[in-house]
């Protein structure tokens, strides 16, 4: 397994989102390593009304504007954390929300964006971390390539704006994709 490099993230957000399927999200806490295969994602860009970066750079979403391959971790509904990876280029607010994982190592039950964070101890301390470095405690590695006919593209979940954008991608027939 090798770590995913900058070039991967420095592309169009939709492409990165699709290509993240099958890659492996890794987290090190208390000398334990957790791993899971990414099976479901959503793309968000600065031109997208549903994106936190739509209204421009704010304190909360600054990580979306950072170098490609930066973690954006935020609190939603007062209770739950969600994790994104910033994409495209520095100064442009875009990223990919990791919605579901297939457990590989030291985790289970990760069929939702906040469940991932709970299972892997991803908190807002990780906001702004560089996921291209293992010593951030959170990074991604190359996994299996997913054949095109196994990738489903559809509408995003839990948003009210731009609800017609088909910017959600998941692996067909995978048990760990979140429910409607």
Tokens of 63: 């990580």
Least distance in angstroms from the C-beta of 9 to DNA:
15
Q: To 5 degrees, how large is the angle CA 118–CA 83–CA 154?
A: 110
Judged by CB under 7 A, the chain residues 131 through 160 that form the site for DNA are: 156-160
Q: Is 115 in the site for DNA (CB under 7 A)?
A: yes
What's the min distance (Å) between Cβ of 76 and DNA? 5
Tokens of 38: 């990414």
Q: Restricting to residues 55-114, which ones interact with DNA according to CB under 7 A?
A: 55, 58-61, 64, 72, 75-80, 82, 84, 95, 97, 112-114
State which residue, 112 or 143, has the beta carbon closest to DNA. 112
What does the alpha-carbon distance between residue 67 and residue 29 come to, in Å, rounded to a whole number? Answer: 24
88 vs 6, 67, 69, 96, 170, CA distance in Å?
Answer: 10, 8, 9, 10, 21
Kindly state the smallest distance separating residue 52's Cβ from DNA, in Å: 4
119 binds DNA (CB under 7 A): no
Spell out where the chain has E strands: 24-29, 32-44, 71-76, 80-86, 95-105, 138-141, 151-154, 168-171
The residues of the shown chain that bind DNA, judged by CB under 7 A, are 42, 44, 50-53, 55, 58-61, 64, 72, 75-80, 82, 84, 95, 97, 112-115, 156-161, 178
């Amino acid at each position: 397994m090798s770590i995913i490099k900058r070039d991967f993230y420095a592309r169009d957000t939709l492409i990165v989102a699709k290509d993240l399927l099958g890659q492996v999200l890794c987290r090190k806490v208390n000398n334990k390593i957790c791993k899971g295969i990414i099976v479901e994602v959503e793309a968000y860009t600065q031109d997208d009304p549903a994106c936190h970066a739509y209204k421009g750079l704010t304190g909360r979403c600054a990580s979306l504007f950072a170098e490609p391959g930066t973690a954006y971790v935020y609190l939603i509904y007062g209770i739950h954390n969600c994790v994104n990876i910033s994409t495209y280029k520095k100064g442009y607010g875009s990223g990919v929300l990791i919605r579901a994982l297939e457990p590989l190592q030291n985790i289970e039950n990760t069929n939702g964006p906040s469940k991932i964070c709970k299972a892997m101890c991803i908190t807002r301390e990780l906001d702004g971390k560089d996921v291209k470095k293992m010593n951030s405690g959170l990074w991604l590695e190359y996994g299996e390539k997913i054949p095109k006919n196994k990738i489903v593209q559809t509408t995003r979940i839990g948003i009210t704006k731009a609800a017609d954008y088909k910017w959600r991608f998941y692996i067909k027939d995978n048990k760990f994709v979140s429910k409607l």
